[in-house]
Amino acid sequence: MADVFVFHHAQGLTPGVAAFADALRAEGHTVRTPDLYEGRTFDTLEAGLAHAEGTGFDELLDRGVRAAADAPAGVVHIGFSLGVLPAQKLAQTRPGVRGAVLVHSCVPVSAFGAWPAGLPVRVHAMEEDRLFTDEGDADAARTLAAEVPEAELHLYPGDRHLFADSSLPSYDAGAATLFLDRTIAFLRALEA
């Protein structure tokens, strides 16, 4: 089974992110959920983003990297939106990472250097999510999928940003279930 780090989105380590981690644990995976907000959660995305901006995105990125400092080889990094920053940086810069799953966001690969040869990655987002399409994430995800043979981009119908968090109003049960199923299958394939 995989050793997985799940990095939360801008609203914090919500019950929905914890539920996703628990679903992976139920499949036998070891899952860690670093809390980049030190216990704080926010009722709205806007409030969470304001907190992130106040804390500083570089500081949050550093917290995520520090949280995985002692991670064993073979880790899979999963990031939700804001959590894509540490997940993608760790995937691109730490030797021995087994895979990455980037949800709701994708950073241009050039932000952290080259994509490691042979490292599989999956990107999941809603096709009309304006935070994904208008902020450059969609372009970054399409470029990654086009240039990295082990990359796949999964777009779901709809316009919700945090569709995979069951504790938020933006939750979309159909898309979230398919995303979870695909992530479980991805983790199983890494074990093969």
Looking at domain 3-191, which CATH architecture does it have? Answer: 3-Layer(aba) Sandwich (3.40)
Is 167 within 8 Å of 19 (Cβ atoms)? yes
**Percent of the chain predicted with pLDDT > 70:** 100
Taking residue 169's Cβ as centre, other Cβ atoms within 10 Å add up to: 9
CA angle, corner 163, sides to 101 and 156, nearest 5?
70
pLDDT digits (tens, 9 = 90+) for 121-173: 999 999 999 999 999 999 999 999 999 999 999 999 999 999 999 999 999 99
Reduced to 3 states, what is the DSSP secondary structure of residue 8? Answer: coil
